[in-house]
Amino acid sequence: MPEGDTIFRAARTLNRALAGHVVTRFESTFPALMRVADDEPIVGRTVDSVRSQGKHVLMTFTGGLMLRTHMRMNGSWHIYRPGEGWQRPAWDMRVLVGTTDYVAVGFNIPVAEFLSERDLARHRELGRMGPDLLDSAFDLDQARARLRARGDEAIGDALLNQRVMAGIGNVFKSEILFVAGIEPFRRVDALSDEEVTRTIGVARELLRANVLGPAQTLSTAIGRRTTRSLDPNEKLWVYGRGGRPCRRCGTLIEARKTGLDARLTYWCPQCQR
């Protein structure tokens, strides 16, 4: 599943390509989107901006209309020049927004809807999201309070809850807890205040490190690093490394399926006691 850093980079790249330009082409396989486009044409509007909010991409058009998309497990946005061949088959297209210079294509996007300013203000899913870890106005106190409110949950499960903090997915969950030195199955209410603050700080640091620089990729994991190593074979500390030696202490990395979705959690039993 794309995580907060991937969605942030996607929105940033879309914004660079589309913002300030007039829409010359709009297509979608979602009947609800096409009904709106028929009643309130998208073609002729200008793209005001594209931004991320947690794992959502929010594309705003003039006239107070916004397109919200969520990638879930397999969705992605691609950018092409008009007439350029697509890297994915046409039948995977779900949403297309074109300008004179670029065509933005959303492939296999499972969630897409148009929102008015009024809809946005009362949107249930967006309104319940926790502080966005990549937001420059990130509220640390609110994040601590929301995390503490999940006291009876394992810290690994709590970090995946977008109502606690927005942007963490399964890869970063394991990596954050390794860097913070926290065992993934400890209950939140068993963590000290220092451990809670450290975990949040590491989460911000790792996500921000993966969106800095001029990278324009829209892919899900290209360039993602948590180790700071330039070796392409040493990008991550523990994720996907079950049964292999810890890069720090040599102990074998363990893995276990956890949570309602049975997602794999990776950890070092020595470094994360």
Catalytic machinery residues: 2-3, 55, 263
Rounded (5°) CA angle 194-196-199: 105
Task: Report the b/e string of 90-99 with b at 16+ CB within 10 A.
Answer: eebbbbbbbb
DSSP annotation of 22: B
The two beta strands, 111-116 and 65-70, are antiparallel
HEC string for 221-262: CCCCCCCCCCCCCCCCCCCCCCCCECCCCCCECEEEEECCCC
Within 10 Å of residue 260's Cβ, how many Cβ atoms? 7
Q: Evaluate whether 180 touches 204 at the Cβ level (below 8 Å).
A: no
How far apart are the C-alpha atoms of 80 and 265, rounded to whole Å?
Answer: 36
Which distant-in-sequence residues (6+ apart) come within 8 Å of 119 by Cβ?
none
Q: Determine if residue 125 is left, alpha or beta; phi over 0 gives left, psi from -120 to 50 gives alpha, anything else beta.
A: alpha
Within 10 Å of residue 20's Cβ, how many Cβ atoms? 11
DSSP annotation of 253: P
